[in-house]
Amino acid sequence: MKQIKEHPRSPVLAAVVVIFLCFTTMASAEPRYQVAPLHPGYEFGTEKALILDTVAGHMWIWVESPAVNNHEGGRYVIYQGQLTPGREMGDIVAEQHWPADKKK
């Protein structure tokens, strides 16, 4: 029977592969979706959170409120738009205006 010769670098290569696999499995990437709790406001039992897609920049508000007395409860996901990158710190990337109340 013919004996197979082992390449002299194979133990080193195997060690490098094992080390690479250890470090890549230990390195954890940030999750794509980040969630931040929001102040519930003054509504009884309402839960709110901001959901951010960290890859594409989309934002949603998640709202859940319980049924209280004669008022129905519900769960809503409301799309808030997409973030737009600026060129430098302090750039206004989106702007909206509405008229002030004119009291006579």
- Encode pLDDT of 43-57 as tens digits: 667 889 999 999 999
More confident residue, 50 or 66: 50
Closest CA to 63 of 80, 83, 78: 78
Instruction: Indicate the domain borders of the chain.
Output: 31-82
**What's the rounded Cα separation, in Å, for the pair 18 and 10?**
12
Instruction: Give pTM, 2 decimals.
Output: 0.56
Amino acid, single-letter form, for residue 34: Q
Residue-wise pLDDT for 8-53, tens only, equals 555 655 555 555 555 554 555 678 999 999 988 776 678 899 999 9
- For 44, list phi and psi in degrees, rounded to 5: -65, 120
Query: Parallel, antiparallel, or unpaired: how do β-strands 33-38 and 47-53 relate?
Result: antiparallel
- DSSP per-residue letters across the chain: -PPPPPPTTHHHHHHHHHHHHHHHHH--PPPSEEEEEE--TTSTT-EEEEEEETTT-EEEEEEEE--BTTB--EEEEEEEEE----SSTT--------PPP---
